[in-house]
Amino acid sequence: MTTETGRSYHNTSSVYCLPNDTAEQDRLDMQSSAIKSTLEGRVTLAPLPPNPSKILDIGCGTGHASLDIARQYPSAQVYGLDITPVPERAVSQAPPNLHFLTGNIFDVDPTALAGTHEGGEPSSLATALQPYTFTHVFARMIFMGMNDWPGLISRACSLLVPGGYLELQELDSWFSDASGAHIEPPFEEAISTAVQERGIDFRAGSHAAERLRAAGFVDVEVHRRPWIIKALPGEPESEMTRYVSRAMPAMVEEFLRKLVLPQADRWGGEDVVQQWLSGAKDGDIFSIPGSHADYFVTIGRKPES
């Protein structure tokens, strides 16, 4: 872990730039609840059998979704994997069928583990990530830490049993007003350039189906939901809009501070970036009624042969 300006960050090879302190854990828990509400109270939309045997949650963060999945499917051994340890508050709530793992999915080649470490400790990556053993591989909102989607999908495929499901839930960071017209904040080009240079795809949600098909997945289905940022006049606030108003402006500020400010000379100087920082929470994304992005749940099935 590294510390900057009073906040702590992951100290790994991942491109993920957001903090991993208690404040960030609280934000992730709020985000998880908001997404679940957007999906009508469901965490996963994959058409799983009633009694799946083994499920992996990649990039599980605070373990919020892993807990829900383990409770919903008590027959399954559920593994939550993240680059940083899951908070103790989640570990203490874990049912017996839930195991949290610390590591990077790219540090393990499942196909090289075939037949090794069987019967080992469930907390071991080598024991848990045996190839061709998972009914379901799930990943949600990992786009900020992902710069190799084909590699991730390939690893997920090698973990799945024939007929198993890969489910990717990702946001397109492309904001529109109620008419569908694009909302372009003054710092959009700067943030977009910074994430592209790190290999991050801000349109990971809408690109997921094409990536799954290219990897050989079949029966690919896409569920699209609006990620409402500010409700229209007369419309009630939702769990998502409450989350956005409380947490997302600070996240935009974090992107600006971590990714853009160190390259301020490219964008008009430090004073310009500081002005963007001070005005981020009052910008068009958060102030225009009907502003929204699109959230995609993309599911593919591994072929039987």
Distance CA 231, CA 237 (A): 6
pLDDT of residue 12: 67
Query: Which of the 8 DSSP states describes residue 19?
Result: B
Residues constituting the chain: 305
Q: Residue 228, exposed/middle/buried by CB under 10 A (0-12, 13-18, 19+)?
A: buried
Give the residue carrying structure tokens 């992730």: 28
- Asked whether 101 and 77 are in contact (CB, 8 A), the reply is no
Q: Centre a 10 Å sphere on the Cβ of residue 178 and count the other Cβ atoms it contains.
A: 12
pLDDT of residue 36: 97
> Residue 275 has which token pair?
């002005």
- Asked whether 212 and 166 are in contact (CB, 8 A), the reply is yes
pLDDT by residue, tens only, the chain of 305 residues = 566 667 777 776 678 878 788 988 999 999 999 999 999 999 999 999 999 999 999 999 999 999 999 999 999 999 999 998 999 999 999 999 999 999 999 887 766 655 544 444 555 787 889 999 999 999 999 999 999 999 999 999 999 999 999 999 999 999 999 999 999 989 999 999 999 999 999 999 999 999 999 999 999 999 999 999 999 999 999 999 999 999 988 888 888 988 899 999 999 999 999 998 888 777 778 999 999 999 999 999 999 98
> Residue 276 has which token pair?
């963007």
DSSP class per residue in 165-231? EEEEEEEEEEEE-TTSPBP--TTHHHHHHHHHHTT--TTHHHHHHHHHHHTT-EEEEEEEEEEESSP
pLDDT of residue 3: 62
- Asked whether 225 and 297 are in contact (CB, 8 A), the reply is yes
pLDDT of residue 110: 67
Distance CA 204, CA 210 (A): 10
Question: Taking Cα atoms as reference points, which of 60, 154, 146, 65 lies closest to residue 108?
Answer: 154
Torsion of CA 258, 263, 266, 268, to 10 degrees: 70
Q: Residue 271, exposed/middle/buried by CB under 10 A (0-12, 13-18, 19+)?
A: exposed
Q: Which domains does the chain have, with CATH numbers?
A: 2-176+198-229+292-301 (3.40.50.150)
Q: Residue 291, exposed/middle/buried by CB under 10 A (0-12, 13-18, 19+)?
A: buried
pLDDT of residue 107: 85
pLDDT of residue 111: 62
295: three-class secondary structure by DSSP: strand
pLDDT of residue 117: 45
Query: Which of the 8 DSSP states describes residue 81?
Result: E
125 CA to centre of own chain: 20
Distance CA 48, CA 57 (A): 14
